[in-house]
Every structure is written in structure tokens, then in C-alpha cells.
Structure 1
Amino acid sequence: MRNSELWRLVDEEFGRAYGRHLAATHVLHALGDRTVEQALATGAQPRRVWQALCDDMDVPPERWLGRDLPLRDHPERA
């Protein structure tokens, strides 16, 4: 997973404004008591950061990979 994919998932799950606020302020104990931003800045793998955030915020596992989009609407095809 790339950082851009992490941010896409954060935006989809929490909305852009709240997701960015959460990433800047919510401390994840699973990542050494760091925020999402701090963990990424110190080299944590985006997938691990996303999983820790999902665990902490009780995101159901079926949403951990993001929304299912028809192929023509997929962001990587734009």
C-alpha cells in the first residue's frame, strides 16, 4: 500500500476533513503512541498504519479495503 492509497481510504471512511483531523490528533497505541501523521513520518508502513486506525476506530473488516467501485469509476483508471 502506498501513502496515497492510505489517504484515499481515510477520506472514504471518515470524510476528508474529519479524516485529516483524526490523522493529526488521534494517538494509536498500536503504533507506539503516535498519530497517523507521526507514524508515517517515521517510516511506518501505510498498510500497518491503516490497520491500526481501523482497529482503533472499530471500522468493520469488510470496509478495510475501501468501497467496491465499478471498474470504470476506479481512481487508478482516471
Structure 2
Amino acid sequence: MKETELWARLQHHLGAGYYRVWAAEQSLPDVGGRTVVQALEAGVSSKDVWRAAWTALELPARER
């Protein structure tokens, strides 16, 4: 997954006005307690970050 797809999915699920805030502030246990932004900066793959966000957002399996 490309990083642009990760951002598009987050925007789709959280809305244009909120997804960047959520990505900068929500701690995700599945990526070591980092936020989306921190995880990407640390070199975690976009796919792994999306899986962590998917879990945190409790999205349906079809969205994985």
C-alpha cells in the first residue's frame, strides 16, 4: 500500500476535517503506541499503519 492510499482511506473513514488531527494524536498500540504520523516517520510500512488504524477504528473486515 502506498502512503497516499493510507491517507485517502483515513480521510474516507474520518472525514476531511478530522483525519489529519486523528493521525497526529491517536496512539495506536499495534505500532508501538505511536500515532500514524510518528509510525510513518519511524519507517513503519503504510500497510502496517493502516492495519493498526483499521483495528483502532474497529472497521469491518471488508475495509481491511
The reply to whether TM is greater than 0.5 is yes
Question: What is the aligned-residue RMSD (CA, Å)?
Answer: 0.8
Tell me the alpha carbon deviations over residues 3-62 of structure 1, each in whole angstroms, 9 at most, x when there is no partner. 111001111111122111110000001111100000000100001101101101101111
Map 1:27-66 onto structure 2 (within 5 A). Answer: 27-64=27-64
Identity of aligned residues (%): 34
User: What TM-score do the two structures reach when normalised by structure 1?
Assistant: 0.77
Stretches of 4+ moved more than 2 A in 1?
none
- Counterpart residue type for residue 61 of structure 1: A
The runs of 5 or more residues in structure 2 that have no matched partner are: none
Scaled by the length of structure 2, what TM-score is found? 0.93
Larger radius of gyration: 1
Q: Please state whether the residue corresponding to 2:10 is helix, strand or coil.
A: helix
Count matched residues. 64
* Secondary structure at the counterpart of residue 13 of structure 1: helix
Separation of aligned partners in 1, 2:56 and 2:8:
18
